[in-house]
Amino acid sequence: MEWDPIQCHSPNAGLSPSPWKLLILFWIVHLASVTASCPTIVSRSQWGARSPKSRTPLKTPVPLVIIHHTEGNLCSSLASCSKEVKGIQNYHLDKRGWADIGYNFLIGEDGRVYEGRGWRTMGSHARKVNRISLGFSFLGSFSSTAPNAAALNAAKKLIQCAISRGYLSRSYTLKGHRNVMPTSCPGNALYAIIRMWPSGGPDPPSKNVSLAIPVKYIILHHTSGNRCNSKDACLQRVKHIQKYHMGKKGWPDIGYNFLIGEDGRVYEGRGWHTIGTHTKGWNEKSLGFSFLGTFFYRAPNATALNAAESLIQCAISEGYLSRRYTLKGHRRVSKTDCPWNVLYKTISKWPKFKS
């Protein structure tokens, strides 16, 4: 299972312990959100993969997921599924002459996902769309019988995992192999099921959901509504905001890239790689950070302000934000009072702020 936690380093050698703690809290929340949505993934080394002959990098996030079945034996244990995956790799390498097993991931009825070419390597599973898709294949033949619940749930989690880790567009399209190639794959029974699955939401205002980084601007907001100073309360607020943005506004996701609570934690919205829907005309060239709460008469507490400043330093050190960035309040680029007076006066004193 691949996971590369981002290590944020401040350019200031004398950084006090408090911002470091805030960064650790941020990544704990981020990592928890990612791992919670990912199934158990059996790595190549764990199932005994042969080395690939070559590899072609896959440009992510991709817009498509292609669902297949292997048309072989069912498997319901780590040992039997590993054996099946090895057999498929041998066939693809030795008989087909491919560089490696064709699929990006394979799904067993043991509820595990088996790493094929993984997230970053282009597959050989659907000739016309290999360059713009991830290929997920159920282990077995599903023309008349559907995969069990464990396999179906693992596949759904794998899709969410791909989104949360930035490998799959939030506005992805789900297709069966038969939709893009002349084949009966993934079998009638499985195809009838995946036809009912959601295929992501509509594209945000930009034609391209990927954010070109590093960006040159940060737009600071407040969410209005209640403040929060505990993890549970802030999670509830973030969920409510997402529900409002998707259900009432009709957006594909929560509008902000990140949200900041008075508990000192940073909550991932669309993240680093995806264009937000927070400031019309600026979404494609900025990161949108929003403080959770209303700040007309009182500024956010020191914990929240420190978290925001640490988040900015993190964005710079990891290459998501230009070192020559400009900081703006939402009200300076849109007809709005956001962020309200006291918060706006506070951020106007920060470095890189421009009215």
Picking from 196, 118, 216, 222, the residue whose alpha carbon sits closest to that of residue 162 is: 118
Q: Is residue 29 located within the same domain as residue 142?
A: no
CA-only gyration radius of the chain, Å: 22
CA distances from 101 to 43, 51, 90, 129 (A): 13, 10, 8, 17
Cα–Cα distance for residue pair 59/132, rounded to 1 Å: 7
Give the residue from 194, 215, 246 where a domain finishes: 194
What is the domain-level CATH number for residue 139? 3.40.80.10
| DSSP H helical ranges for the chain | 17-36, 44-47, 78-90, 149-164, 188-194, 231-247, 302-317, 341-347
The answer to whether residue 200 is domain-embedded is no
Cα–Cα distance for residue pair 259/257, rounded to 1 Å: 7
The answer to whether residue 201 is domain-embedded is no
The answer to whether residue 293 is domain-embedded is yes
10-residue mean pLDDT profile of the chain (355 residues): values are 33 38 49 61 97 96 95 96 98 97 98 98 94 97 94 94 91 90 93 82 42 91 92 92 86 92 94 90 94 90 94 92 93 88 89 77
Residue 52 CB-density burial (10 A; 0-12 exposed, 13-18 middle, 19+ buried): middle
Helix (H/G/I), strand (E/B), else coil: 53: coil
Q: Is residue 221 located within the same domain as residue 338?
A: yes
pLDDT of residue 37: 65
Give the residue from 160, 194, 228 where a domain finishes: 194
Cα–Cα distance for residue pair 206/224, rounded to 1 Å: 25
Give the residue from 136, 169, 194 where a domain finishes: 194
The answer to whether residue 112 is domain-embedded is yes
Q: Is residue 139 located within the same domain as residue 69?
A: yes
Any bridge partners for residue 133, and if so which? Answer: 64
Cα–Cα distance for residue pair 81/71, rounded to 1 Å: 13
Picking from 56, 98, 65, 103, the residue whose alpha carbon sits closest to that of residue 84 is: 103
Q: Is residue 252 located within the same domain as residue 313?
A: yes
Q: Is residue 179 located within the same domain as residue 244?
A: no
Count of CA atoms in the C-beta half-sphere (13 A) of 15: 18
Q: Is residue 157 located within the same domain as residue 273?
A: no
* Total domain count, the chain: 2
Q: Is residue 133 located within the same domain as residue 265?
A: no
Q: Is residue 74 located within the same domain as residue 46?
A: yes
The one-character DSSP state at 162 is H
Distance of CA 150 to the CA centre of its chain: 23
Per-residue tokens: 224: 């209005």
Cα–Cα distance for residue pair 242/247, rounded to 1 Å: 8
Q: Is residue 254 located within the same domain as residue 181?
A: no
The answer to whether residue 352 is domain-embedded is no
pLDDT of residue 212: 84
The answer to whether residue 3 is domain-embedded is no
Range of the domain at 127: 41-194
Q: Is the peptide bond before 214 cis (omega within 30 degrees of 0)?
A: yes
Q: Is residue 32 located within the same domain as residue 87?
A: no
All residues at 6 or more sequence positions from 286 whose CB lies less than 8 Å from its CB, including other chains: 215, 216, 217, 218, 219, 276, 278, 279
Per-residue tokens: 149: 């619940």
Cα–Cα distance for residue pair 315/312, rounded to 1 Å: 5
The answer to whether residue 12 is domain-embedded is no
Picking from 123, 137, 252, 270, the residue whose alpha carbon sits closest to that of residue 198 is: 252
The answer to whether residue 309 is domain-embedded is yes
Q: Is residue 189 located within the same domain as residue 108?
A: yes
Q: Is residue 150 located within the same domain as residue 219?
A: no
